[in-house]
Amino acid sequence: MQKAICFLFVFLIVVSGFSQKFEAETATLAGGATKQASSTASGGYYVAQNGGSLTFNIKLETEAFYNIYIQVASPAGYKSNNLIVDGSSITFATEQNSNYIKLKAVNFLKLAAGDHKIQITRSWGYINIDYIEFEKADPAARFNINKTLVTPNPSDEVVKLYKFLYDNYGKKIISGVMTLGSMDEVTWLKTNTGKEPALVGLDFMHCGRGYTWYNDLEPGNDAQKYYNKNGISAICWHWRDPLKKTEAFYTKDTSFDISKVFDETSEEYKAMIKDIDYIAGLLKKLQDNKVPVIWRPLHEAAGGWFWWGAKGAAPCKKLWQVMFDRMVNYHKLNNLIWVWTREPNDDAWYPGDEYVDMVGRDIYKTGDHGSQILEFNDMNNRYGGKKMVTISESGSFPDVDNLIKDGAAWSWYMPWYGGFTRESTYNSLDLWKKMFASDYVLTLDEMPNLRTYTSTSMMGEKPKNFKVFPTYFYETINVHSDKLIQTVSVYNQLGVPVKTMKPEGGKTVVSFSGFPSGMYMVKVDENEAVKVFKR
């Protein structure tokens, strides 16, 4: 067998300044990737990936947030490939393009000083790579989260829940678990760890089918009980064939045609409306009992394995909008936080900012307890930093140490039921205990009374004219203001002042060296305080 020829060039460079280009031809090439001369490429060469890979070994002088760009051409058509940063991977896609484009593959990635390994590996392969570029990014621009819900006149309860999610975003992660039967995995975790997750996943999968063996009120009853304990309910809907010709929701098992959503006279459309009305009735019971719900319908649509994704983007997007209109405007439901579950390359499927409060990603990577920071940054960038993002389902979930180290601000994590929760192949009991013991992970016993929750943020009020970042840190924080800063004051949890500074200008760094770990409040010119946490 003929061996693949590898070009072995180690690329080592110190990054300095605002941005730095790394030429592809100086990377380590393997598996058929080849260096090609070109007068139009930077440095006079590019790399034809073919079916191979490129490896860059770089050294960063300082810890910072970075955007990573790939100067790339895709002359052979649409291609999808992998960018791997220190073992964490993300898929990037290129449309047919014979000329080079500067593709922003990663944004706001926190990288420590020192050595890093960057790889471009084949999914489809067959793109041309000119260079990659690292650009330092201002972390103050990382988030611009929507402060209001998409539902008009939302209930007080759902506003309080959203504010709670908002206030903890990037400061804590909310623990969760999916259930199959009533509270099965919650009970297992309580028995084996002594604690319960703050969020429980529920499903309307069996509802509205007339099953004699199932009580359709079970998901709602569980949501009510958990809310009474200050817990959060996230409800999805494995929506079975609306025509009831089968009991299936997988595309392979039903021929239900979602494209009929465009024909209001069709039997399919009428069946979908009937099902939506029935589920709306179950949600209305929760609204009447003043229970807010994280609502996650039509999940994983672009994967195509569910009937609501079987006919492409347009009918699925239409069905989401029909459901939103029917539930919100017809049934007057105002207790829902609407969550879109993203799949790769589904931008055309997205219902629109006016229909979505948050965005989830279902990540199943067996034994991988990394922070999934590249997925996080991709989603944050994709939705303009406006939508909180979450791990709405998982197999193996991130280790809390990795979440903190990488600054991956997922709102919550929720492993699926059964083996994903209970088996060490996916998540060991020791990891569950570690998560539940961490100050960064919220468990049920640490939840506030959501009925009376008072926001610690400025939601609905005049925005601050200053920024404090990061809010979860080791030694220092940055304070940036639109105007000259007169004083920066730091208070401990008891409200006792522990530090006062009088900086010059509109920016300063505040050191917490020697201060114990814990929560502090930072005031700029005696404006309302910002809560920060020293690790």
Residues recognised as catalytic: 300, 393
Distance CA 56, CA 121 (A): 12
Of 152, 178, 147, residue with least CA distance to 165: 147
Tell me if 120 sits within 8 A of 130, measured CB to CB.
Answer: no
Distance CA 309, CA 302 (A): 6
Numbers of helices and strands, H then E, in the chain: 9, 29
Those residues with Cβ within 8 angstroms of residue 511's Cβ, 6 or more apart along the chain or in another chain: 475, 476
Of 242, 126, 231, residue with least CA distance to 183: 231
Question: Among all chains, which residue has been given the structure tokens 């700029």?
Answer: 524
Question: Among all chains, which residue has been given the structure tokens 């997007």?
Answer: 317
Integer CA distances (angstroms), 48 to 38, 80, 117, 119, 503, in order: 11, 15, 20, 14, 52
Q: Which two tokens stand for residue 377?
A: 């940054």
Element (H, E) at 234: strand 232-236
Distance CA 308, CA 236 (A): 14
Distance CA 173, CA 442 (A): 6
Distance CA 354, CA 506 (A): 35
Distance CA 286, CA 224 (A): 7
Of 193, 149, 155, 232, residue with least CA distance to 449: 232
Alpha helix (H) residue ranges in 295-350? 313-324
Q: Is 531 left (phi over 0), alpha (psi -120 to 50) or beta?
A: beta
How many CB atoms lie under 10 A from the CB of residue 229? 12
Report the first-to-last Cα separation within the chain, whole angstroms.
55
Distance CA 105, CA 274 (A): 43
Report the SS3 class of residue 14: strand
Distance CA 517, CA 283 (A): 42
